[in-house]
């Protein structure tokens, strides 16, 4: 279906009308729409993007890494990362999320000084382009805030130049009681400027100053940044902290209608500029609010499945899948053109807000206490009535699963692999943090040196030492990588693991967590069943209602079902992917 530039212009004007309905713009909406079209270099094309077209399949697996997660003497880290990707992951991974690779002042990259350049300590745009030529590249659009050391903020203080009117301010006397915060630091930062004392809004930290999207020049600047990233090979945009984008004093300042409409606008601009580029919204918020960012297949292409990490960890340390199963049954299937982005470990930690309303307060307390006993740290947030609540558990996933609520045990690695076998089989696109693929443990030295809780899960490997570990069969790093690659390579060959393939939750009690996947063309079924306890558990094949005329085999162990009346004993933390259609090398 063809479209005209005028059609796109009208669509953009519709978005702008919804965003700026209560804002007096310095120019007409039509002029602003024309400016955005020109920045994105959108012109008449032959095909109109379809909101219900899947830009992904079962082959898509995303590796998540900092640009300098692996370092080598006398070599820029982005080159080292590229070498590492090609040496160990190329057959399993087709997409890479490089966490913010721009000049920054804090928060390991999420306080951006300059959006238009690559951090010289990591490499340059040529290194980014080289990686994007071999892998689908995902990059962060840190859109809610920037660094207080940015040129924009310097101009804000000076009262002139680009950025002098880019930042959101409020007054200490304003009613800010309903503002939702992910941090305990003061919301407003007192700043002396050439125009007097200003109180700058800081959702996250006083080095991360919030931008004011009521000013259309801020919008135009970020559209220019998006165009630059597309030109450098970025195909997947991660909208960082997008839920906090629009602020109205006297409200919660989270998930406001203008924020959702801004996502719709940016999607329109991105998909008309590059039809196979996609948006993933990073919204570490309660589950129901998170789902809203799908819109009607017209907002985010993908949303982070933030409730999965705390629920899955809770399941595996308690040996009870009740909460995970209840949540799974409540999750709507993603429409074509949208998909869940599944992950269980990230550069931050295991968020607890997405577990609110899903886990009881007592369960959350048990989870927090267990992670602390495993060496983890807890980050806190301000809640209602001056309460302080746990916001995030900072710990590597490998150490988080070293035991149960009763303490560490001998099943740590099996429990860790089970978590990934479950995650890789779920509806959605899997994202794997590099330190999970490498079986990295807590970095207490980095935690001590930085005094930042999240540093515990941001280890920086020496390339030669890592290679030595990966070539040593008895090391946990070698064993984890080998087992993880085995799972990924099986997953990629199964049509029933397409991110939008049918999924139903199975009722197998509290100790066996199970679900059924069916390929879009209905030719393949896979029953995924995991023993979430530290004891052997029997599974009756009759409980799965397998079709007797088919031959069934577990893709992971390659063990066959000999008789439909059989019982299958699952070892502690064993997961099976039972299929009627074998497609495995």
Binding positions for substrate are 107, 145, 238-240, 347-348, 454
Tell me, what DSSP letter sits at residue 75? Answer: B
- Closest by CA to 334, choosing from 529, 59, 51, 141, is 51
DSSP string, 184-225: SS-SEEEEEETTEEEEEE-SSBTTEEEB-TTSHHHHHHHHHH
What does DSSP say about strands 461-462 and 525-531: parallel, antiparallel, or unpaired? unpaired
CB 583 within 8 A of CB 489: no
With 0-12 CB in 10 A as exposed, 13-18 as middle and 19+ as buried, what is 130?
Answer: middle
Structure tokens at 574: 């064993």
**Catalytic residue, candidates 127, 140, 207, 240:** 240
Assess contact for 388 and 380: CB atoms under 8 A: yes
The answer to whether 46 is a known catalytic residue is no
**Alpha helices by DSSP H, 357-411:** 361-373, 397-400
Q: Is 91 exposed, middle or buried (0-12, 13-18, 19+ CB in 10 A)?
A: exposed
What's the token pair of residue 539?
A: 């599974």
Handedness of CA 59, 65, 68, 69 (dihedral sign): negative
Beta bridge partner(s), residue 513: 530
Whole-angstrom Cα distance, residue 318 to residue 409?
A: 13
Token pair of 497, please? Answer: 């693991």
Burial of 562 (0-12, 13-18, 19+ CB in 10 A): exposed
List the Cα angle 390/395/399 in 5-degree steps.
Answer: 130
Quickly count: other Cβ atoms within 10 Å of residue 165's Cβ: 16
The C-alpha angle with vertex 145 and arms to 142 and 151, in degrees rounded to 5, equals 100
DSSP notation for 242-308 = GGGS---TTS--SS-HHHHHHHHHHHHHHHHH-TT-EEEE---S-HHHHHGGGTTTTS-SEEE-TTH
Residue count of the chain, please give it.
585
Residues with catalytic function: 240
């Amino acid at each position: 279906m063809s479209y005209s530039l005028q059609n796109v212009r009208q669509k953009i004007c519709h978005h702008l009308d919804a965003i700026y309905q209560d804002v007096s713009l310095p120019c007409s909406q039509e002029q602003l729409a024309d400016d955005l079209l020109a920045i994105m270099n959108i012109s008449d094309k032959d095909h109109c993007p379809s909101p219900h077209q899947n830009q992904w399949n079962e082959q898509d697996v995303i590796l998540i890494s900092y640009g300098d997660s692996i370092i080598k003497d006398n070599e820029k880290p982005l080159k080292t990362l590229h070498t590492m990707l090609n040496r160990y992951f190329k057959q399993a991974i087709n997409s890479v999320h490089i966490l913010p690779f721009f000049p920054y002042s804090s928060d390991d990259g999420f306080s951006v000084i300059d959006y238009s350049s690559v951090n010289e300590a990591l490499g340059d745009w040529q290194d980014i382009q080289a990686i994007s030529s071999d892998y689908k590249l995902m990059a962060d659009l840190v859109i809610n805030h920037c660094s207080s050391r940015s040129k924009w903020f310097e101009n804000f203080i000076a009262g002139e130049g680009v950025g002098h009117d880019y930042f959101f301010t409020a007054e200490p006397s304003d009613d800010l009681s309903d503002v939702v915060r992910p941090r305990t630091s003061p919301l407003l930062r007192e700043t002396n400027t050439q125009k007097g004392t200003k109180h700058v809004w800081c959702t996250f930290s006083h080095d991360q100053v919030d931008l004011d999207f009521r000013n259309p020049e801020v919008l135009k600047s970020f559209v220019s940044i998006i165009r630059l990233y597309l030109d450098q090979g970025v195909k997947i945009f991660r909208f960082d902290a997008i839920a906090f984008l629009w602020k109205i004093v006297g409200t919660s300042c989270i998930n406001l209608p203008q924020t959702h409409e801004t996502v719709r606008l940016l999607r329109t601009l991105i998909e008309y500029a590059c039809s196979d580029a996609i948006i993933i919204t990073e919204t570490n918020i309660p589950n129901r609010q998170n789902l809203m960012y799908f819109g009607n297949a017209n907002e985010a292409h993908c949303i982070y499945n933030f409730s999965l990490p705390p629920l899955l960890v809770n399941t595996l340390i308690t040996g009870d899948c009740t909460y995970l199963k209840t949540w799974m049954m409540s999750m709507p299937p993603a429409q074509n053109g949208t998909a869940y982005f599944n992950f269980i470990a990230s550069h931050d930690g295991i968020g607890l807000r997405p577990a609110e309303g899903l886990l009881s307060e007592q369960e959350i307390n048990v989870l927090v206490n267990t992670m602390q006993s495993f060496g983890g740290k807890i980050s806190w947030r301000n809640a209602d009535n001056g309460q302080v609540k746990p916001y995030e558990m900072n710990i590597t996933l490998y150490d988080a699963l070293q035991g149960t609520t009763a303490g560490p045990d001998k099943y740590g690695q099996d429990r860790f692999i089970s978590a990934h076998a479950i995650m890789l089989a779920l509806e959605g696109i899997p994202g794997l943090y590099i330190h999970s693929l490498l079986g990295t443990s807590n970095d207490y030295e980095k935690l001590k040196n930085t005094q930042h809780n999240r540093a515990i899960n941001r280890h920086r490997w020496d390339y030669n030492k890592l290679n030595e570990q990966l070539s040593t069969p008895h090391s946990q790093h070698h064993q984890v990588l080998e087992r993880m690659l085995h799972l990924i390579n099986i997953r990629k060959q199964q049509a029933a693991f397409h991110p939008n393939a049918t999924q139903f939750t199975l009722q197998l009690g509290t100790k066996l967590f199970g679900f059924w996947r069916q390929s879009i063309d209905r030719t393949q079924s896979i029953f995924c069943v995991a023993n979430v306890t530290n004891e052997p558990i029997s599974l009756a094949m009759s409980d799965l209602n397998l079709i007797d005329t088919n031959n069934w085999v577990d893709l992971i162990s390659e063990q066959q079902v000999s008789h439909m009346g059989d019982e299958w004993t699952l070892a502690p933390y064993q997961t099976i992917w039972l299929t009627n259609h074998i497609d495995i090398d």
